[in-house]
């Protein structure tokens, strides 16, 4: 029977790639000033996957501690959101299902709509739990943001995965209704099947993003959503972190709420802590913003948070959630900081070598060097099949 119990995020964990390229290092070779990166787009560094890492290994790393804490007895569905899928047919979540040893009585589905996909997965998960409150849904969002070398988008690259356990009576955030929705056909960012890197019109994308803020907010308020003044702060999708500040000012202006620059900075800066040193992680970005806010110093018991999810092309959603009192007891702050600190800095030449040596596509057997600092790795490719394995001891990255 459907439940009247609160439904939302019961646990949240994220992981990122094993390598990091700082924007100070990048600037030495692009000719751009460091200030353009640090202040102009709000980025300090970008996470990169090692040769034996991909969306599957990052997602499995993010999900493993969730499974360890809660077990698998109540999980009936695994939803994997990504826009950098590794297969046109098989869901990446099936590989994660195998790596984590999940039981067979679980449905696994992959979702795609640019960076919005994880929010679709979260809402679908909440609906499943509302219908059957004893079940839990594992939502995974994992992406590697990659643009052409020497392109304007290159400095916004990143890689990360977020894992969320959705359940009744959640420990972290209760998801509220209604949602404000917005869809508009626009070619601001896209990646055809024949390309490994995305195509983007940066100026058009910013205009489309802000139009989506307007559209989703209007729909939210038309459906008797809360006044914006009653929302503590908003977690935004962050293609680069300065976009969140622009979006918040736009949201407040559209709602007729006055706020000066200092007030906007105070509201949004706590959500950018992770994304500014990881880069854009597409579907995971919004939920890294939530993790940063929850892991921060602000006391959020019973606070109402806003969420703005944007996926180019474009689809957007604005909704709210209530932070559950006592949430701090369930946070994974130390693990998140460790995931970031364990990254190995690389120089620009190493980064270029990684980018110019893609995985082979000839179907022959290829073994990959052990470089990851995580618990799972892509060990090779054989007969056009990816082969994954569990790592029992982390390797030093050569």
**Residue in 10, 97, 110, 115 annotated catalytic:** 115
Is residue 174 among the annotated active site residues?
no
Question: Can you read off the two tokens belonging to residue 354?
Answer: 């990684």
**Residue in 83, 154, 276, 317 annotated catalytic:** 83
Conformation bin of residue 214: beta by default, left when phi > 0, alpha when psi is -120 to 50: alpha
CA distances from 237 to 165, 307, 312, 328, 329 (A): 20, 8, 11, 23, 26
For residues 85 and 91, give the distance between their C-alpha atoms in angstroms, rounded to a whole number.
8
For residues 246 and 305, give the distance between their C-alpha atoms in angstroms, rounded to a whole number.
18
Is residue 115 among the annotated active site residues?
yes
Instruction: Give the rounded distance of the alpha carbon of 304 from its chain centre.
Output: 21
SS3 assignment, position 44: coil
**Residue in 10, 23, 97, 237 annotated catalytic:** 237
Q: Which of 232, 225, 262, 231 is nearest to 245 (CA)?
A: 262
Q: Which of 351, 340, 288, 355 is nearest to 21 (CA)?
A: 351
Q: Give percent helix, percent strand, percent coil of the chain, each to the nearest 5.
A: 35, 25, 35
Q: Are 38 and 26 in contact, with CB atoms under 8 Å apart? A: no
The helix (H) or strand (E) run that includes residue 109 is strand 107-111
Query: Which residue carries 């024949």 as its tokens?
Result: 194
- Please state, as a whole number, how many other Cβ atoms lie within 10 Å of the Cβ of residue 171: 18
Is residue 250 among the annotated active site residues?
no
Q: What single string gives the DSSP state of each residue in 78-93?
A: EEEE-SS-S-SSS-HH
CA distances from 39 to 69, 75, 248, 344 (A): 39, 43, 17, 24
Q: Are 322 and 174 in contact, with CB atoms under 8 Å apart? A: yes
For residues 31 and 147, give the distance between their C-alpha atoms in angstroms, rounded to a whole number.
18
Q: Catalytic amino acids?
A: 83, 115, 237
């Amino acid at each position: 029977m459907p439940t009247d119990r609160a439904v939302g995020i019961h646990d949240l964990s994220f992981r990122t790639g094993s390598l990091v390229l700082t924007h100070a290092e990048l600037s030495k070779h692009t000719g751009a000033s460091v200030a353009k990166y640090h202040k102009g787009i709000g980025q300090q560094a970008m996470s990169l996957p090692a040769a034996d890492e991909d969306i599957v290994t990052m997602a499995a790393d993010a999900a493993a501690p969730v499974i360890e804490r809660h077990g698998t007895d109540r999980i009936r569905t695994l939803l994997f959101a990504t826009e950098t899928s590794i297969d046109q047919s098989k869901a990446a979540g099936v590989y994660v299902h195998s790596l984590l040893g999940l039981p067979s009585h679980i449905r696994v589905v992959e979702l795609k709509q640019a960076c919005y996909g994880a929010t679709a997965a979260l809402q679908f998960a909440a609906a499943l739990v509302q219908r059957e409150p004893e079940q839990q849904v594992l939502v995974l969002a994992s992406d590697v943001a990659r643009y052409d070398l020497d392109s304007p988008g290159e400095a916004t690259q990143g890689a990360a995965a977020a894992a969320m356990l959705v359940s009744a009576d959640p420990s972290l955030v209760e998801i509220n209704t209604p949602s404000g929705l917005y869809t508009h056909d626009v070619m601001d960012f896209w990646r055809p099947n024949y390309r490994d890197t995305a195509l983007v019109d940066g100026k058009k994308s910013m205009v489309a993003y802000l139009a989506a803020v307007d559209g989703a907010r209007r729909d939210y308020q038309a459906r008797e959503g809360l006044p914006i003044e009653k929302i503590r702060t908003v977690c935004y999708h962050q293609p680069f972190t300065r976009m969140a500040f622009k979006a918040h000012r736009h949201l407040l202006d559209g709602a007729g709420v006055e706020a000066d620059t200092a007030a906007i900075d105070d509201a949004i800066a706590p959500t950018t802590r992770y994304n500014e040193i990881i880069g854009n992680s597409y579907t995971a970005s919004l939920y890294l913003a939530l993790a940063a806010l929850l892991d921060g110093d602000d006391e959020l018991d019973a606070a109402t948070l806003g969420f703005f999810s944007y996926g180019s092309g474009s689809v957007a959603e604005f909704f709210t959630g209530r932070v559950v009192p006592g949430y701090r007891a369930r946070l994974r702050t130390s693990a998140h900081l460790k995931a970031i600190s364990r990254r190995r800095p690389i120089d620009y030449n190493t980064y270029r070598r990684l980018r110019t040596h893609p995985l082979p596509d000839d179907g022959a057997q290829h073994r990959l060097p052990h470089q990851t600092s995580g618990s799972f790795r892509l060990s090779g490719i054989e007969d056009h099949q990816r082969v994954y394995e569990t790592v029992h001891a982390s390797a030093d990255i050569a």
